Structure 1
Amino acid sequence: MDKLSGIPLDDWIVQGREFNYRGYKTRYWVAGEGEPLLLIHGFPSGSWDWHYLWHSLARRYRLIAVDMMGFAFSAKPRHYHYSLLDQADLLQEVLRHLGVDSYHILAHDYGDSVAQELLTREFVGPGRLNSVCFLNGGLFPETHRPVRLQKLLMSPIGFLVGRRYQRENMAQTFGRIFGPQTQPSQQEMDGFWRMMEFNQGPKVMHLLIRYIAERKVQRDRWVDAMQRTEVPMRVIDGAVDPVSGAHMVARYRELIPQADTVLLDNIGHYPQVEAPDQVLEHYLDFRSVCAGSEHSLAVEC
């Protein structure tokens, strides 16, 4: 099956809007009508990761995607305390700006951790979150297997690694985490690199990577929320991802009651890029299933 039609990066960029967050310029995108769906990107790329799914989802939902602080076409200050909790604050500010008081989440990688924080906040704030769907991400620190680049960025020489980071380094890393039969095209690699290099992004990668340690600090709090929540959740996961693939899903099934999981054979870390048609199918099924479940008595998915 041919891949869903995507959006060229230049076209994507011009559709973006500006939002001032703590004195910094961030970029966000909106499209469609209906129930709001927040798309949360991963590390080290940005919201363009969703471009293959964008048109299909926009026919059904009101889409919102934000390049988080330090990523893609948002500000990348070199003296900033990057954190997952701060990224959750940013997303909540954008939602308020757009007048959104009830929403769903589709997240990937780093975005999964931000989604875990937003889910956890449901227990201390107004009920706003109606469903969460996770794509490949480190939901549990004990199952996350960082790639060599991440290990180097976390080391004492991380700042030097970022400064010397080039497109070839990115291509090598992405080649390892994509599925063997779904390797990124040159056009996709060009787009990933443009997101990363904008505003000298590699120079803040060693600051962004602190999220891996932050996950460990928040782990029990987040897992407790996932175990107690009544918000419908599904994992759609590329099975051959060496970072957060089938081994992460196995742990998810151990820890999460009535775990709803989908494994995509031969797909790696970026299922929304490698197999967007499959992700769309399983995501729409999730929304249909949870709307018809007992949860629909309290929450319309």
Structure 2
Amino acid sequence: MNDTNKSKGYEKFSPATTAWMKSGNYLTVDGRQIFYTDRGKGPVILLIHGHPSSCNDWEGVCDRLESQARLVAFDMIGWGLSDKPEAFSYSLFQQADMAEALLKALDITEAHVASHDLGTSVHTELLARNLEGSLSFKLLSSLITDGSILQWVSNEPPSQNLAQSNDTLFLAMEEFNKGTPASYAEDFKNMTLGNLSDEAIQLKTELFCYQNQFRRLTAQSNYMRERYIHSERWVGAMEKT
């Protein structure tokens, strides 16, 4: 795996980020590389991360549970160490496809699923497929945390709200492009309430800057529109499960 980072402010990853990268593997799906980690033995738990972070968010959970379960976590396309293509819809349906493809590649036929933030809508799409009988693995149980699945009552950052209107879309792009590694690091400190070490904040910042994720934020924010459009499917699947 290549540790060269051509994004703002970073030519190479820090030792912590390099170690994180080496702890995982890559799977190619439809020509896109997905980074994932696979730790522990026992019942499988699929972990789906949130926005704007990566599957590194689950590292502490994996540290605590790997003696009891097999923990599979992956970076969605556009996040973390997975590819961040320019010509990509960043649809939650595609992210659910990636989750299924990963489990299939690992010969996993049944799993518990835990999700956070953005990942909860990928999770509810898996629930919908399960209800339809089209899901490629047996979904044993679900844990959904802090998801803002009810998009119409969620409280999103102003910059993300700008990306929801065609009238302010270019303003959102300008806002996202103003960021610097230092400002991204400060954002991660605020999001984690100052509970992470400087090393951990640097790791999260480098993962965010990898392949210039800030240039994909406008497209990635489309997930909020999808939550409105497919609310009956996704909220309904959660209610019926």
SS at match of 2:87: coil
**Mapped contact 2:84–2:213 kept (Cα < 8 A):** yes
Amino acid of the structure 1 residue aligned with 2:181 = R
Which deviations, in whole Å up to 9, do the C-alpha atoms of 1:160-193 show, x marking residues without a partner?
33332223433454454444xx544322221111
Q: Equivalent residue for 2:82?
A: 74
Which deviations, in whole Å up to 9, do the C-alpha atoms of 1:35-66 show, x marking residues without a partner?
11001111111011111121221111111111
Q: Which runs of 4+ in 1 moved over 4 A?
A: none
**Mapped contact 1:149–1:173 kept (Cα < 8 A):** no
Q: Equivalent residue for 1:13?
A: 21
Aligned equivalents of 2:226 and 2:38: distance in 1? 29
Aligned equivalents of 1:34 and 1:177: distance in 2? 32
**Mapped contact 2:44–2:111 kept (Cα < 8 A):** yes
Superposition pairs of residues 225-236 of structure 1, within 5 angstroms: 225-229=237-241
Superposition pairs of residues 1-301 of structure 1, within 5 angstroms: 8-125=16-133, 128-154=138-164, 155-157=168-170, 158-179=172-193, 182-229=194-241
Aligned equivalents of 2:216 and 2:77: distance in 1? 10
Amino acid of the structure 1 residue aligned with 2:111 = Y
Residues 148 and 174 of structure 1: CA distance in aligned 2, closer, same or farther (over 3 Å): farther
SS at match of 1:122: helix
Amino acid of the structure 2 residue aligned with 1:129 = L
Aligned equivalents of 1:193 and 1:131: distance in 2? 32
Aligned equivalents of 1:113 and 1:150: distance in 2? 17
Amino acid of the structure 1 residue aligned with 2:128 = T
**What TM-score do the two structures reach when normalised by structure 1?**
0.69
Aligned residues: 221
Task: List gaps (5 residues or longer) in structure 2.
Answer: 1-14
SS at match of 2:78: coil
**Mapped contact 1:72–1:198 kept (Cα < 8 A):** yes
Residues 183 and 151 of structure 1: CA distance in aligned 2, closer, same or farther (over 3 Å): farther
**Mapped contact 1:45–1:196 kept (Cα < 8 A):** yes
Indicate the percent of aligned positions where both proteins have the same amino acid: 28
**What TM-score do the two structures reach when normalised by structure 2?**
0.85
Aligned equivalents of 2:218 and 2:25: distance in 1? 27
Q: Equivalent residue for 1:297?
A: none
Task: List gaps (5 residues or longer) in structure 1.
Answer: 1-6, 230-301
Amino acid of the structure 2 residue aligned with 1:45 = S
Aligned equivalents of 2:208 and 2:42: distance in 1? 32
SS at match of 1:26: strand
Amino acid of the structure 1 residue aligned with 2:239 = Q
Which deviations, in whole Å up to 9, do the C-alpha atoms of 1:189-243 show, x marking residues without a partner?
21111111001111111111100111111112112112221xxxxxxxxxxxxxx
